[in-house]
């Protein structure tokens, strides 16, 4: 999955809650990318939240909360390659394995982070999918066309062949984006895992459960409604369908936040993005089946 958090020069910094959520959902290591002395710094390998947030605060102190400066943060979920410091992001645009795995570089002209899974890469070379794609695909482009990232058609091409999201930072302190990002009050996120979610049910991991404790009781009335023997059914004329969108058949849903993910398949599922309710349409009626579910696309990217 992973998440990219990108602060442009005029943007705000993420809150500690947003950082905590991002690392909790994407907990296989984190890294930072910023410009210092006219060069891109790649600074990664923070494998637990305490080390991550401590270094983040240190950077904010050094660069005075990055006022007028860009900052890119990446939190990783390992989908290919080992879950080690060397496989965390960011990366230089290079075909040099040692540099791609380096935990600290400070003299780069350009750096990149990735959110997604790139099919066909990271299976045979010892590199993860992102590292191999950079080495075999992006670096050859960059070596012949240094400003490729300023060309919208080239960025669109990378998006289409990878179905992924990237953020590029150059030494001029400018950011370039591949794929659709959420703009939340002048801060960009590659997906919604920075948001606090409401979880229902019981957990063996009580520390994890406690982090969502207050939200659980705030929504308890809605939970009780779903726990009744019969669900609530709505006729079309009784339900505001303007806010509904249908889930794609190749998407996945986690109905109760317990990690039990199922494919949409042949079901007709509709999500109300105003009330955060999920309905199943069958026999001419809408059946309320979940409140605030987690919705994934075909690449297991969190959509909501």
Of 139, 170, 189, the last residue of a domain is 189
Are both 143 and 250 inside the same structural domain?
Answer: no
Are both 254 and 174 inside the same structural domain?
Answer: no
The owner of tokens 């019969």 is 230
pLDDT digits 0-9 by tens, 6-45? 999 999 999 999 999 999 989 999 999 999 999 999 999 9
Average pLDDT along the chain: 85
| CA pair distance 194, 33, nearest whole angstrom | 18
pLDDT digits 0-9 by tens, 104-118? 999 999 999 999 989
Q: Is it the case that residue 222 has pLDDT exceeding 70?
A: no
pLDDT bin (cut points 50, 70, 90) of residue 124 is low
Q: What is the dihedral of CA 224, 225, 229, 233, to 10 degrees?
A: -170
List the CATH number of the domain containing 164: 3.60.20.10
| Average pLDDT of span 231-254 | 70
pLDDT given at position 210: 41
Query: How many independent structural domains does the chain possess?
Result: 2
Are both 111 and 179 inside the same structural domain?
Answer: yes
Are both 129 and 25 inside the same structural domain?
Answer: yes
pLDDT given at position 252: 87
DSSP state of 242: G
Are both 36 and 165 inside the same structural domain?
Answer: yes
Are both 125 and 267 inside the same structural domain?
Answer: no
Are both 176 and 259 inside the same structural domain?
Answer: no
Q: Radius of gyration over alpha carbons of the chain, in Å?
A: 21
263 compared with 141, residue with greater pLDDT: 141
pLDDT given at position 153: 96
Name the nearest CA neighbour of 10 among 73, 72, 68.
68
Indicate yes or no: pTM above 0.85.
no
For the record, the structure tokens of 230 come out as 């019969």
Q: Contact at 8 Å (CB) between 189 and 139?
A: no
pLDDT given at position 223: 45
Residue 229: CB atoms within 10 A of its CB come to 4
Strand partners of residue 31? 44, 74
pLDDT digits 0-9 by tens, 171-209? 999 999 999 999 999 999 999 889 886 544 433 444 444
Angle between helix 16-25 and helix 49-62 axes, rounded to 10 deg: 140
Q: Contact at 8 Å (CB) between 185 and 11?
A: no
Which residues constitute the domain of residue 89? 3-189
Are both 227 and 155 inside the same structural domain?
Answer: no
Are both 178 and 226 inside the same structural domain?
Answer: no
């Amino acid at each position: 999955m992973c998440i990219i958090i990108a602060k442009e020069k005029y943007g705000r910094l993420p809150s500690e809650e947003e950082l905590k959520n991002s690392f909790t959902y994407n907990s296989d290591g984190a890294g930072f990318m910023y410009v210092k002395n006219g060069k891109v710094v790649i600074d990664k390998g923070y494998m637990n939240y305490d080390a991550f947030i401590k270094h983040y605060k240190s950077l904010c102190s050094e660069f005075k909360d990055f006022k007028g400066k860009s900052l890119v943060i990446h939190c990783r979920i390992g989908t290919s390659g080992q879950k080690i410091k060397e496989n965390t992001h960011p990366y230089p645009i290079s075909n040099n394995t040692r540099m791609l795995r380096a935990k600290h570089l400070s003299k780069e002209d350009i750096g990149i982070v990735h959110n997604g899974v790139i099919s066909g890469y990271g299976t045979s070379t010892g590199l993860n999918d992102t590292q191999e794609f950079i080495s075999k695909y992006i670096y050859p482009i960059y070596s012949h066309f240094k400003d490729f990232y300023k060309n919208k058609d080239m960025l669109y091409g990378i998006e289409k062949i990878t179905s992924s999201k990237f953020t590029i930072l150059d030494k001029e302190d400018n950011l370039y984006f591949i794929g659709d990002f959420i703009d939340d009050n002048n801060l960009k996120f590659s997906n919604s895992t920075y948001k606090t979610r409401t979880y229902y049910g019981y957990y063996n991991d009580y520390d994890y459960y406690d982090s969502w404790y207050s939200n659980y009781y705030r929504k308890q009335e809605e939970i009780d409604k779903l726990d009744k023997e019969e669900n609530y059914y709505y006729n079309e004329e009784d339900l505001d369908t303007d806010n509904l969108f249908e889930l794609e058949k190749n998407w996945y849903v986690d109905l109760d936040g317990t990690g039990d993910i199922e494919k949409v398949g042949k079901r007709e599922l509709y999500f109300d993005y105003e009330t955060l309710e999920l309905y199943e349409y069958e026999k001419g009626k809408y059946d309320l089946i979940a409140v605030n579910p987690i919705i994934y696309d075909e690449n297991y990217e969190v959509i909501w």
